[in-house]
Amino acid sequence: MTINADPQELAKFGELAHRWWDPQGEFRPLHQINPLRLDWIDGLAKLKGRRVVDIGCGGGILAESMAARGASVLGIDLSVKPLRVAQLHAMEAGVENLDYREVAAEALAAEAPAGFDVVTCMEMLEHVPTPASVVQACAALVKPGGWVFFSTINRNAKAFAFAIVGAEHLLKMLPKGTHEYARFIRPSELAGWAREAGLVVDQLKGMEYNPLTQRYWLSADTSVNYLVACRRPS
Ligand code: SAH
């Protein structure tokens, strides 16, 4: 099986892995958005006691926070260094019910079909050659009646201006080259892949950012960053 991953993308995250938990470092945006997405996911899926898999977990910012809410979480990624950082951080933080594995979403789906109550796949699809295949794997991993959450970046002129020119070049919130415009995903495309995989789209939310106040909030404006909540029919 050819692996659905871009080695350059994985290397990029590997090189920055030691910086993952610095709240003022390169991954600062992930730290800043985490409470927002965590509360949204928890509000819908009621994390306590659930079995969760976090696809493309990186250094574990979301995975660890879901485990701290009482879920039993498996974080998977194909970049080794972020996984090591995630493991170390979990040990130091003393968070239990949290494991990490280097395995592709598609391979885990073949190994543990319908193995999880909740699947999260945040800020990851825009780094993958064939995102539809990851969406399909997420649908296969979730139990009937369970939840699948995605977040990514829209593809239009405003998203280019905000997510690449603004965030990488003007505000320097992210390292240059973090995102590639051609890999951005329209909500209609993501919803289409989800439906083809047998999921039902339950919610679509925009995530907005004000650079002056440095605040993030959820809204109906999906023109740049957005989140999707899907369910697998029971
Ligand atoms: N989901 C985390 C990290 C986002 S950064 C969060 O939102 O906090 C994107 C992550 O996706 C990186 O850790 C990168 O290594 C991972 N990634 C990129 N391509 C991948 C692939 N094909 N399979 C699994 N993980 C991948």
**Digit-coded pLDDT (tens) for 124-182:** 999 999 999 999 999 999 999 999 999 999 999 999 999 999 999 999 999 999 999 99
2 pLDDT higher than 90: no
Query: Are the CB atoms for 74 and 99 separated by under 8 Å?
Result: yes
The rounded Å distance from CA 205 to ligand 1 centre is: 21
What residues are paired with 93 via a beta bridge? none
Secondary element (H or E) of residue 83:
helix 80-93
Query: Which of 1, 12, 13 for mutating ligand 1's site (highest number of atoms within 8 Å of CB)?
Result: 13
Has residue 207 got a pLDDT over 80?
A: yes
At CA 95, angle to CA 52 and CA 121, rounded to 5? 30
pLDDT-derived band at 1 (thresholds 50, 70, 90) equals low
Ligand 1 centroid – CA 195 distance (Å): 23
pLDDT at position 107, please? 98
Nearest CA to ligand 1 atom 11: 56
Answer yes or no: is pLDDT of 232 > 80.
yes
Tell me the percentage of the chain whose pLDDT exceeds 90.
97
Kindly state if the Cβ of 78 falls inside 6 Å of ligand 1: yes
How many angstroms does the Cα of residue 58 sit away from the middle of ligand 1? 5
Residues 114-125 pLDDT 10s: 999 999 999 999
Measured from the CB, is residue 150 less than 6 Å from ligand 1? no
Nearest alpha carbon to residue 225 among 170, 162, 183, 148: 162
In the chain, % of residues over pLDDT 70: 100
Tell which residue, 51, 50, 27, 47, has the closest CA to residue 38.
47
Domains and CATH numbers, the chain: 7-231 (3.40.50.150)
Residue nearest to atom 26 of ligand 1 (CA): 56
Dig out the tokens for 130 from the structure.
Answer: 């064939």
Tokens of 26: 């390169």
Query: 3-state class of 130 per DSSP?
Result: coil
Centroid of ligand 1 to alpha carbon of 164 (angstroms)? 18
Nearest alpha-carbon partner for 65 in 95, 44, 22: 95
Give dist(CA 23, CA 27) in Å, integer.
Answer: 7
d(CA 212, CA 199) in angstroms, rounded, equals 38
Atom of ligand 1 nearest to the CA of 82: 13
85 pocket-lining for ligand 1 (C-beta < 6 Å): no
Lowest mean pLDDT among 164-168, 203-207, 219-223: 164-168
15 pLDDT above the threshold of 80: yes
Query: For residue 226, what are the β-bridge partners?
Result: 152, 206
Question: Rounded to 5 degrees, what angle do the CA atoms 207, 52, 6 make?
Answer: 65
Mean pLDDT over the full length of the chain: 97
CA-based radius of gyration for the chain: 16
The closest alpha carbon to 77, from 96, 52, 58, belongs to: 58
Question: How far does the centroid of ligand 1 lie from the alpha carbon of residue 188, in Å?
Answer: 22
Strand partners, 116: 142
